[in-house]
Amino acid sequence: MFLERLLLIVLLIHSVSSTEWIPVEGGTFITHDLEKTPLQIKTDSTAGSGNHIVLFTHTKDETGLVGGVRLKFGSTITYFIGFCELSSGAFPVQPPDEVDKIWTIRKTASDLNIICNEVELLHYKFSDSSDSRCVQRCRWAGDVVDKIQFSSEHDTASDYYRAMPTACPGFTVDRSVHVQGIWDDTDPGETVTINCQKKHVRDGSFERTCNTDVIWTEEAPLCKKLIVRSWSLFL
């Protein structure tokens, strides 16, 4: 029993620091400082599916419910912010049409941002809420969220989650002219150029940009050996 509990603690710690995608388990408290690190949720739910993303936010001791965010995939995708809004609202901008979506939730002491596939759908200021509870102590305003929880009863859309990476991951291109062919982690907004060694040709784009959603815009290219044929064989 002790080893099982220890393993559970290790897994929870891993879920905080890892930028790898982790399967969602509804009802589980997950240690996550939302003010420090944005949360990303991956789903293939689309408008009209009727599915929901339902996320609860909690204080450190798990007893203080800060609020919640609900995204409903109706004919249009709507949002609801618990303790700030009395009813669901339509996003000023609808999400992109891609089936696979990465939803990013950012929070500061004064604002909440909801982003989908790099498109900002909502920039919500807690001070604009008509519900006075929104800015009360231990509600949304301030540095209060230390744990999150996906609803085991109502969340039907969330497949995976992770702490949003702060940089695009490093990568390797064999037979490139870069030092040992290894690129380090790259900050958002930066572009790297990939050139191949002599007698090699590039298969793919020669540039990769780390976008604002901390995702590479292009797949890493390959450097393929140039095949030189002797024309004397055909004479």
In the chain the first and final C-alpha atoms are separated, in Å, by 79
Q: What pLDDT sits at residue 135?
A: 86
* pLDDT over threshold 70, residue 223: yes
- For domain 171-229, the CATH architecture is Ribbon (2.10)
* pLDDT over threshold 70, residue 7: no
Q: What pLDDT sits at residue 230?
A: 60
Residue environment code for 9-36, b if the CB has 16+ CB neighbours within 10 A, otherwise e: eeeeeebeeeeeebebeeeeebbbbbee
Beta-bridge partners for 208: 192
Least confident interval from 9-13, 124-128, 198-202: 9-13
* pLDDT over threshold 80, residue 134: yes
In CATH, the number for domain 2-163 is: 2.60.120.200
Spatial separation of the C-alpha atoms in residues 106 and 120, rounded to whole Å = 11
Instruction: Indicate the domain borders of the chain.
Output: 2-163, 171-229
> Is the pTM above the cut of 0.85?
no
101 CB-contact burial (10 Å; exposed 0-12 / middle 13-18 / buried 19+): buried
